[in-house]
Amino acid sequence: AQPAESILSVRDVKVVFSGFQAIKGVSLDVADREIVTIIGPNGAGKSTLLDAIVGKSPVASGHVYYKGNEITNKRPHAIAHMGIGRKFQNPNVYNDLTVFENILLALKGSHGVFASIKTKLTSVKKAKIETVLERIGLLDKAFTKVSSLSHGQKQWIEIGMVLAQDPTVVLLDEPTAGMTTDETHETGEIIKTLANHHAVVVIEHDMEFVKQIAQRIVVLHQGEKLTEGSVQEVQTNPKVIEVYLGR
């Protein structure tokens, strides 16, 4: 059984790729409107853990619960539809469309590019899109073509496309990858705002950024959870120091 306040619970999950154990029995709880940051060296299994949650990598044993219901190995679109949204590492936006149109296409209930653009834009949809644009700090760029935006701004659109799906839990895999220092800081502020409305799980490398957003940090290493706790607890943990500073 999972703690009552937990909205997403991962219980002793293992993921195996043709004999190789990428995740060796990891448990994790996420409460509503909480930010959980996952850190760990390359190959630790961070992305694979998110894949296991969203049904993209098969769970060999263990369980994933969402709002008390088991979702282990359900199909990715079913899990997304239930309310777990996932942003991938690389931006995948429509460059020839405006920021507004990109979010429109991602709205829950949209049925592909042409159908969505042709469909009459209701005031409800318009308000929804504006809320999303406000959360990602791009309201003033609504009618700008995506091709003229910076890499960082494109990453925020991707976050917006996840928000357009009405998620309860938002999973972000390295949301600051390739960003400038200013964009990275702005992303931290966006994520803190997101946590007023959603549970947020963030995979991140940049320790300054982790300090900016982190409430609770989970450290993965070689497919196992090394420890979890506050920034202070994790930074002073001898096992974490050993993993990051080498032997």
149 Cβ contact list (under 8 Å, min separation 6): 99, 141, 157
Q: Which is nearer to ligand ADP, 41 or 137 (CB)?
A: 41
Main-chain phi, psi angles of 67, to 5 degrees: 50, 40
Q: Which is nearer to ligand ADP, 26 or 164 (CB)?
A: 26
Computed over its alpha carbons, how large is the radius of gyration of the chain? 18
Q: Which is nearer to ligand ADP, 43 or 68 (CB)?
A: 43
What number of other Cβ atoms are within 10 A of residue 134's Cβ? 14
**Nearest approach, Cβ of residue 18 and ligand ADP (Å):** 7
Q: What residues numbered 81-100 form the site for ligand ADP, per CB under 6 A?
A: none
166: tokens are 């009405």
Binding mask 13-32 for ligand ADP (x = CB under 6 A): ----x--x-x----------
Count of positions on this chain that bind Mg ion (CB under 5 A): 2
Instruction: Sheet containing 20-31: give its strands across.
Output: 20-31, 6-17, 61-66, 69-70
Q: DSSP 3-state assignment of 137? A: coil
What is the rounded CA–CA span in Å between residue 59 and residue 51?
A: 9
Residue 47 binds to Mg ion (criterion: CB under 5 A): yes
Residue 187 touches which member of ligand ADP, Mg ion, none, C-beta under 5-8 Å by kind: none
What is the rounded CA–CA span in Å between residue 72 and residue 83?
A: 14
Residue 50 touches which member of Mg ion, ligand ADP, none, C-beta under 5-8 Å by kind: none
Count of positions on this chain that bind ligand ADP (CB under 6 A): 11
Q: Which is nearer to ligand ADP, 89 or 131 (CB)?
A: 89
Q: What residues numbered 34-63 form the site for ligand ADP, per CB under 6 A?
A: 40, 42-48
Phi-psi region of 90 (alpha: psi -120 to 50; beta: other; left: phi over 0): beta
Residue 153 touches which member of ligand ADP, Mg ion, none, C-beta under 5-8 Å by kind: none
Binding site for ligand ADP (CB under 6 A): 17, 20, 22, 40, 42-48
Binding site for Mg ion (CB under 5 A): 46-47
